Amino acid sequence: TEFTKAFNNVFSFTPFEKKDLKISEDNSLNAHIAYLESLDAMLKKNFGSFKGTMITAIETFIQKNDARQITYLINTIPTHLDSLLKISVPSRFVTIHLDLLNLWQKKLLMYEAITNYTSDPLKAYLAMQQIESLGQQDINIQIVLIKRYQELKS
């Protein structure tokens, strides 16, 4: 899409690829459930103490010049990405897992650009333009994962 091309160019974004993953050929019901539960556990472990959203972190930074939330995200996302790269991914979930990795990487680049607005205001402005799209991507991925988990558990 045009959004993806523009984002990749402006933010020097290199998407994660299948070769970056630890892919498992175990596509059993238990493997799928374990994978989805481990994603949830990783989120809780890495972001459990974060009391906000992408929007509140950015608003707090811009409106109150308080960088604590956004800095927390910038410092925590690389650990989360490492966790996502270490997990064994059932082959049926490769595409969504890559989407998840790439989304977190884009969020990190966006947060960094916003916090560096004094040195590169144009990049910060472009990052701000991506908030809605990244938020929608996040929601879409969560819907797919939750729906799949509910199907597996029923």
Length of the chain: 154
Q: Which pLDDT tens digits describe the chain residue by residue (154 residues)? A: 676 666 667 777 889 999 999 999 999 999 999 999 999 999 999 999 998 888 899 999 999 999 999 999 999 999 999 999 999 999 999 999 999 999 999 999 999 999 999 999 988 998 998 889 899 999 999 999 999 999 998 8
pTM of the model as a whole:
0.91
